[in-house]
Chains A and B, each alone.
Chain A
């Protein structure tokens, strides 16, 4: 039984449809990516999963069960707009939030100390949140989302506003939790994070799910049309190879766009005829390209 199963949910705000027939499933120990431009319906979807608003149609199941108040304790939430009580001590508010989600104060206290040690900031236990830097507040916010050992964690714009070092640290932590069996639903605008973390994704556009599935399969559906080429000697006449649509010269080689994969082989033959080739690669489309293509195409 999968921890989370969303089945063709529909949510309407008056005349406007916010989410239209969205379905997806998250397995145990999986990070699921929910992508989309601003206003595509990601936050509404997450709010429905969290039980804040009820779907008009469709069904959401947690380990096969319908939504109920008891399930709140196995959900964790990292909202897009971060917020803590500025004037209250870190320990007070984290323990409060943990207790609200049904964890005994004692356990929560032990967990908090462990997390603070893990993030190498044990001295924050007695600090007020307003005394911390923005990046450190983010760490505390993350702890607040996972302090009660949830089974499903919803992260809206997971790593925004963090410096690269902290992004790495949080990513590492998320992976550890994933390997421990926690499921994540995760939204972000940073496609490289999605490629690194997620197995399956949904791209939403204007309330509709437009592209769904495993990242590997999605990429196969998109033609490989980018070629990287580098050689010791300059190679002439790349533009004239049939099927090549554009050539850009970089510092250490060329980046070509081809109409179909076969054209790439022609490019390689053309290059080899002129001298040794140091590097040849037929690139997969990046998620970023796929996203822009999918969302951008439908913009017209």
Chain B
């Protein structure tokens, strides 16, 4: 146990001291700080607060233009500014020139259409694809049309208002328990949190796994391994290395998450986040606990696989190819989880949430976005724990054998034969 501690300390000291580690952490923190402020920046810089200037030719369909102006004036009263400022001009040529000069964002032309009884409207602007302005115009024109038609139908004010009021549709999740499901706000938060957890696990596993495998192969190829395995049992060395790297990864993640949370909690950001439907205080603590359990077990499952693979490769050049299968496994887990963000109840996700290599990604996702029964979670954790122990034992055996084998990468048959010969 004492020696495991020595290996852990050595692994950590060398990692923390390395320049690459410090620089990576710093860059990630910087990215997170910028990223955490993006919602606020979008709000501040985005076009949302600014009215676009839209021109029209004087004299064409005056009734419609007048109604449109009235609706935008009403909008100005409600939200402080209209989406569109309508400006009149004598002819289309002049409007075109104004768009060219950037005094206008665009202009509309109306073309009578006897078939519908309402003119076809064209919005001309520099950026042809659906801008916010054209969708705003669409909504308003629709309303103008409704108003015009309803006025002719002779309905009362009351009826008109009732007709125009949109249907209320709220989302609420169904749960068996105490009855109150997650509100839309909680769900938004859950999606965000699940996304973060899945990405953290993916990055944690990929970065630390590669690191563990590389270090072990490097020890082997520099032949330090021969001295180390004669000083300490290979098991102690492997676990020391895995745990040491794990602590470092956790430290790194803690610094990054800390930076993220600190930034999100700044007053201006909390408001912006609320605008997106994310509230940090609505995070379910049970979700955090489950996420941590799955993160830990998943991390060790993958880390030990990486260690085993690192031990059978003799040269760093061969490592990339050798870890490919594990990398693929994490990638599959990650992409299935990305798909699951929108379909948390699909059979694929449910089945995969029991498969040990994917369950760390997918059970967390199901807990966050759907509502699995407690036994489902327990079963998934059970399977994951059992396979982590099994693979840990197997990895230790492979490691014990692999560190003494040099030359070309051994086949499975050769490995089993060597295991028998070395009596491990």
Contacts and interface: CB of A to CB of B under 8 A. Distances in A.
Interface of A: 12-14, 47, 50-54, 69, 72, 75, 77, 79, 81-86, 88, 92-93, 96-97, 99-102, 144-145
Interface in B218-245: 219, 222-233
Contacts of A93: 224
A93 B231 CA distance: 13
Given A13-B417, A93-B224, A97-B227, 18 more contacts: A13-B418, A13-B421, A54-B423, A72-B230, A81-B223, A83-B223, A83-B225, A84-B222, A96-B10, A97-B231, A100-B3, A100-B6, A100-B228, A100-B232, A101-B231, A101-B232, A144-B227, A145-B227
A84 B6 contact: no
B259 to A, nearest CB: 29
Contact of A85 (B222, B233, B418): B222
Contact of A77 (B222, B227, B232): B227
A50 B421 contact: no
A52 B404 contact: yes
Nearest to B223: A83
A69 B233 contact: yes
Contacts of A12: 421
Interface in B378-424: 404, 417-418, 421-423
A52 B230 contact: yes
Nearest to B226: A79
Nearest to B220: A83
B84 interface: no
B14 interface: yes
Contact of A72 (B222, B231, B421, B423): B231
Contact of A83 (B13, B226, B230): B226
A50 B404 contact: no
Contacts of B421: 12-14, 53
B7 interface: yes
Interface string B231-270: 1110000000000000000000000000000000000000
B404 A53 contact: yes
Nearest to B6: A99
Describe B's contact surface by its main secondary structure.
helix
Contacts of B417: 13-14
Contacts of A92: 10, 13-14
Interface in B2-22: 3, 6-7, 10, 13-14
A84 B224 contact: yes
A38 to B, nearest CB: 15
- What 3 A-B pairs come out closest when comparing CB atoms? A83-B223, A100-B231, A79-B226
A96 B6 contact: yes
B67 to A, nearest CB: 76
Contacts of A99: 3, 6
A85 B224 contact: yes
Given A14-B417, A96-B6, A100-B232, A53 B423 contact: yes
B18 to A, nearest CB: 8
For A47, A93, A100, which residue has the most chain B Cβ atoms within 10 angstroms? A100
Contacts of B423: 53-54
